[in-house]
Structure 1
Amino acid sequence: MPLLRALIRTARMIRHTASLAEGLPPDDDILLDAPDARLATALAAAGHTEYGPAAKLLAHTREAAEWENRDRYVQRLAAFAAARPEWFTAWQSAAPHDPDLLLVKAEVAVARAFGSPARAELLRDVTPLILAAADADRSDPVPWRLALDHARGANAPHTVFEELWAQAVRRSTHHYGCHVAALQYLSAAWYGSHAECFDFAERAAEDALPGSLLQALPARAAFAYLTDQSPRGIPRARLDAAADLAVGLSATYDGADPWPAEVRNLLACVLIQLERWQDALDQLRLIGPYATSFPWDRLSDDPLGEFLHLRDGVRLEVAAALPLLGGERTSGDHYS
């Protein structure tokens, strides 16, 4: 009987795997961390040592209170500045007190500290940079996301974390980046527990606005739990509920939309961990060409390779569950 089941499974894979590629871009079309049009323009100019488009872009996000975009752009521009500093050095020379420059400068310093064995020592020197960025625009929540990251790396006590969190939500109640930073601080890998992490994420999701990425925060807690070396204490139903909430959020966005791409990549990874193969395939189709480093870089040093490998694996699992003479089932169907 085990041999017969294995033969049937193999036959199903052979019959259905190719057809399940429908809706999935070819491997060569997948883009890792593809920027949107505005950021792409700024990065292209920076590659030619021109800081003007980046400065203009960040100034617009500040003036228009586009805090989510601002946070994303600051992180990408900081990563580019760390790798290609010429344009950033020119910006610092031309406008050393520019509030947008100060924010990118603080982001570069925090990221550099987290990547160093001397993290705690380096983070002590970063505090004035974060304060300068916060003072430059007192309505901006992004410096407080940085402050929460800093608190995590600097082993700050919960009292300090709570003070920083209050400052963050005072500026933007539903800011996704600040919530992610808080969730990381409260995680079992740092200064909290899986239960504390889930409680925080579920409260935030419950209070979130329609279409807010905060509704995917419980899925992020689920990812931390499922990738723990010895997870325990969180029932399967709670993990599935977190995934279901994120599935509902994903459905509110168009397919192949770069805005929710990271959330969809995270959700696909969680669904794979939960062995919900059809649901995972649905998300992979919605992701389209927009693979993101997170969460795959938590599983492999080659995030794009990991994404493509697991995408193929999901197709095989879905194919193996289909009847030999049937077609693809819809999301939510149960396999026997």
Structure 2
Amino acid sequence: MVGTMAMQLPFIRPGRMTRTASHPVGGPRPDDEVLLDAPDARLSPALVAAARGDHGPASGLLQATRAAAEWERRDRYITRLAAFARSRPDWLDAWLATAPHDPDALLLRAQLAVDRAWQSPARAEMLREVSPLITAAARGDHGDPVPWRLALDHARGAQAGHTYFEQLWAAAVRRAPHHYGCHESALRYLAASWHGSHQECFDFADRAAQDAPADALVQALPLRAAFGYLTDGCGPELPRERLDAAADRAIALSPRLPAADPWPARMRNLLVFVLVCLERWPDAQEQLRLNGPYATSFPWDQVSDDPLGHFLRVRDDIRSAAAGRPPGHPRSERGGRVRPGDH
């Protein structure tokens, strides 16, 4: 049983220094070479152009993902571009002005509106107001599951009833039965609706992973359920074997994804987080090797206001454990239990 894990996670003490020695080829990267939330080679030019006010590369990128049914990448790119547009919306405004019915621009506008609503004290009211934008995005391309992931997120924020959510879920999986984003949104709805019912969340995640191809990102959905359990601190205890099985499934997925690449970095960062919670230090070290120099804000921003610094300290802790030196075992830098954010 792992009752103590949900209460006290083995993360590094905040005052500990990290090493910055040079590294051999393929070895650990110095701290100043680690990149936080780095865009991949396809997204980077779109962000650079957007910073100049040019929406053309973003339009081309999103159109290409839609044409090739690259739904996982499309979802990630929409999220990242919307995050950029929160502080620099001029390029998106220009895009919508010139192509008001473009399905990619409509989806990006809807994502941005939902993101803004989530951050508002008047969340419920603002979410009601953005419903028409999500509907317009869904009508833009009837085969695209990403607007339906957004609709699922919206329904969770609006505390929609189960019947309505199930209707959205059915529409989403008709379009892409194994889309990770829709599955993650559904998992988070279950967690929010039945707080502490981690058994149900694991059951849902395990069924989704079992039905998916071996290289599908949804193989990591049980890992997301394990993260929810380990950071929640409530509900009945789960057997350690169930957490290990979730980690093992993600470990099996990891070599199927590109090594030292920004695209799978979020999954590998989450896997490292869970492996450290489980004190599986050699496995965590191997994931660091596959991950390369890429840190992601999630999940480290759930336990620290300095996600990059926290990642580096946890990385150092993993190396200490691998070298036979006992790592520290304090709780979140924020004090008290570690709790995930709500969006």
Settle same-fold status: TM greater than 0.5. yes
Alignment of 1:82-231 (within 5 A): 82-187=86-191, 189-192=192-195, 193-230=197-234
CA RMSD of aligned residues (A): 1.8
**Displacement after TM superposition at 1:245 (Å):** 0.9
Partner residue, 1:247: 251
Q: Per-residue displacement from partner, 1:198-253 (whole Å, max 9, x unpaired)? A: 01100011011121111111111001101113353211110011111111111223
Q: Is the 8 A contact 1:31 1:290 kept in 2?
A: yes
Partner residue, 2:307: 303
**Displacement after TM superposition at 1:53 (Å):** 0.8
> For residue 36 of structure 1, what is the amino acid of its counterpart?
D
Q: Per-residue displacement from partner, 1:59-114 (whole Å, max 9, x unpaired)? A: 11112211111111111110111111111111121111111100000000111111
Counterparts of 1:254 and 1:85 in 2: how far apart (Å)? Answer: 32
Counterparts of 2:255 and 2:166 in 1: how far apart (Å)? Answer: 34
**Displacement after TM superposition at 1:173 (Å):** 0.5
Query: What is the aligned counterpart of 1:37 among 19, 37, 41?
Result: 41
Counterparts of 2:32 and 2:199 in 1: how far apart (Å)? Answer: 40
Determine what percentage of the aligned residue pairs are the same residue. Answer: 63
Q: Is the 8 A contact 1:261 1:292 kept in 2?
A: yes
Counterparts of 1:249 and 1:99 in 2: how far apart (Å)? Answer: 32
> For residue 55 of structure 1, what is the amino acid of its counterpart?
S
Counterparts of 1:94 and 1:105 in 2: how far apart (Å)? Answer: 14
Between 1:59-68 and 1:152-161, the stretch displaced more is 59-68
Counterparts of 1:242 and 1:236 in 2: how far apart (Å)? Answer: 10
**Displacement after TM superposition at 1:190 (Å):** 4.4
Answering whether residue 271 of structure 2 is matched by residue 267 of structure 1, we say yes
Question: Quick one: structure 1 residues 231 and 321, their matched pair in 2 at CA, closer, same or farther if it must change by over 3 Å?
Answer: farther
> For residue 122 of structure 2, what is the amino acid of its counterpart?
A
Q: Is the 8 A contact 1:21 1:315 kept in 2?
A: no
Counterparts of 1:212 and 1:243 in 2: how far apart (Å)? Answer: 15
Give unpaired runs (5+ residues) of structure 2.
Answer: 1-18, 327-343
> For residue 275 of structure 2, what is the amino acid of its counterpart?
L
Counterparts of 1:20 and 1:219 in 2: how far apart (Å)? Answer: 32
Q: Per-residue displacement from partner, 1:8-52 (whole Å, max 9, x unpaired)? A: xxxxxxxxx999976211111111111111110100000001011
> For residue 69 of structure 2, what is the amino acid of its counterpart?
A
Counterparts of 2:302 and 2:23 in 1: how far apart (Å)? Answer: 26
> For residue 108 of structure 1, what is the amino acid of its counterpart?
L
Question: Quick one: structure 1 residues 254 and 68, their matched pair in 2 at CA, closer, same or farther if it must change by over 3 Å?
Answer: closer
Partner residue, 1:333: none
Partner residue, 2:82: 78
**TM-score, normalisation: structure 2:** 0.85
> For residue 50 of structure 2, what is the amino acid of its counterpart?
A
Q: Is the 8 A contact 1:20 1:315 kept in 2?
A: no
Q: Is the 8 A contact 1:20 1:319 kept in 2?
A: no
Q: Which entry has the higher C-alpha Rg, 1 or 2? A: 1
Q: Per-residue displacement from partner, 1:108-148 (whole Å, max 9, x unpaired)? A: 01111111111101000011000000011111100000000
Counterparts of 2:223 and 2:140 in 1: how far apart (Å)? Answer: 34
By percentage of residues, which structure has more helix? 1
**TM-score, normalisation: structure 1:** 0.87
Q: Is the 8 A contact 2:226 2:274 kept in 1?
A: yes
Counterparts of 1:30 and 1:129 in 2: how far apart (Å)? Answer: 37
**Displacement after TM superposition at 1:254 (Å):** 4.0
Question: Quick one: structure 1 residues 18 and 306, their matched pair in 2 at CA, closer, same or farther if it must change by over 3 Å?
Answer: closer
Q: Is the 8 A contact 1:148 1:178 kept in 2?
A: yes
Question: Quick one: structure 1 residues 201 and 21, their matched pair in 2 at CA, closer, same or farther if it must change by over 3 Å?
Answer: farther
Question: Quick one: structure 1 residues 154 and 18, their matched pair in 2 at CA, closer, same or farther if it must change by over 3 Å?
Answer: closer
Answering whether residue 288 of structure 2 is matched by residue 284 of structure 1, we say yes
Partner residue, 2:340: none
Give unpaired runs (5+ residues) of structure 1.
Answer: 1-16, 323-336
Secondary structure of 1:138's aligned partner:
coil
